[in-house]
Amino acid sequence: MTDVLLPSRETTSPWRSTPFRWLLAGRTLIGLGSAITPVAMALAVLHLGGSATDLGLVVAAYALVDVITTLFAGVLGDRFSRTLLMRGAAVLACLSQAVVAISLATGLASVPMLAVMSAVNGALAAIAGPSSRAVLPQTVSASALPTAVSVLRLSQNTAMVAGFSLAGLLVGLFGPGWAIGVDAATFAASAVCFTAMNVKPLAAPAARSVLSDLGAGAREVFRHTWLWMLLVQALIYHLMYGGAQGVLGPVRITRLFGEAAWGWALAALMVGFMVGGVISLRYRPSRMLFAGTAFLALTACFPLAMALPVPLPVMLLGAFLHGLGLEVFSVNWDLAIQQNIAPDKLARVFAFDQVGSFVMRPLGLALTGPVAESVGERGWLLVIAAVMAAATLMALLPSSVRDLRRQS
């Protein structure tokens, strides 16, 4: 495998682009606020006397509407101004989160109300999601695109670490309503950033039905073997790993090492993401999907460490390697899509990517508990690790995955 380092900064730096700097600021702010809200919302439900089932319904409302809306959001992102969609979604999300914050602060909130507003926010996140990824090539030159992808992901991961760290402190000091109010403020600030972006619009598409546009997006996905093959791999990953992290991880690690250990494991995971992002700023494999998918095999380390009788440092190393491998893959995956999909189909392809990646996660979460009770936690974690590793090897079989070349 031949790797190349970055050429001169003059030709590859995205920082020379004002629209990119505004995009980076806006997406980083949203990442910060979006990391605060899940913690604050969970504690808000509990403060209202809600049960674990109630919290599950609130979270599920967001996830379900997000998945349903994303495909249509991809169509919108290829039909209309992407910056307009991002700006409008940010303004509406600011208003909806402000309503939640005020209702919690004034004692007017209820669990059903939080579920409804969670669904609203899921729809707004879906509307902005494909456009916020597809607009990137409109903000930088082709030579600056690889660095721009890495910088955006690193910035968002850093913002999420800060958001998770701030969330508990904000709720503890001021209550969940004020914490969600901070999220509303980040949406307002991001709307200002997206308003300041000035990008060249794409040519207006021919008038077609929404279903026709969705069909064209699906055909574009299946036209590229590397694309649909890695989407299948993502389905398997989220089906298996979702339960390992969301269900078995906190149960098994806290039982073995204490409650603080689960927080340390998640911190190690996020550090892995950040280190992977830093590596990707300089590491430029010419066969980007081959290298990225090879790194993805590291994700099996975390469930494997959970299954084996290892000391806590080894467990944390497994979490770190998972985050590192997933981030290096994600950077190369995003870049492969940006460089090989036509601009007028980019939002729809990113929408299929988002839906394909997460649609199986709820099923995995639901099945993990019963299956683990049947075969044992350790046995099921070993199965999860084996399936994740096998799925990665399967994804490397097509030559289009192994041989896809970086364009810059």
Q: What is the pTM for the complete model shown?
A: 0.80
| pLDDT band at residue 205 under the 50/70/90 scheme | low
pLDDT digits (tens, 9 = 90+) for 158-177: 888 888 778 778 877 888 88
User: For position 52, what pLDDT does the model report?
Assistant: 58
| 54 vs 325 pLDDT, higher one | 325
Positive or negative torsion for Cα 159, 306, 289, 75: negative
Within 8 A by CB and 6+ apart from 333, the residues are: 230, 289, 292
Tell me the C-alpha distance between 365 and 71, whole Å: 23
Predicted pLDDT at 279: 93
Q: Which amino acid would we find at residue 322?
A: H
Which residue would you say has higher pLDDT here, 297 or 37?
A: 297
User: Which of 75-79, 82-86, 165-169, 221-225 is the least confident region?
Assistant: 165-169
Task: Give the range with max mean pLDDT: 152-156, 191-195, 281-285.
Answer: 191-195
Q: What is the pLDDT of residue 8?
A: 44
* pLDDT confidence of residue 206: 63
Residue 267 has pLDDT above 60, yes or no: yes
Pairing between strand 284-285 and 3-4?
A: antiparallel
Instruction: For 107-140, write each residue's pLDDT tens digit.
Output: 888 888 988 888 898 889 888 888 998 899 889 9
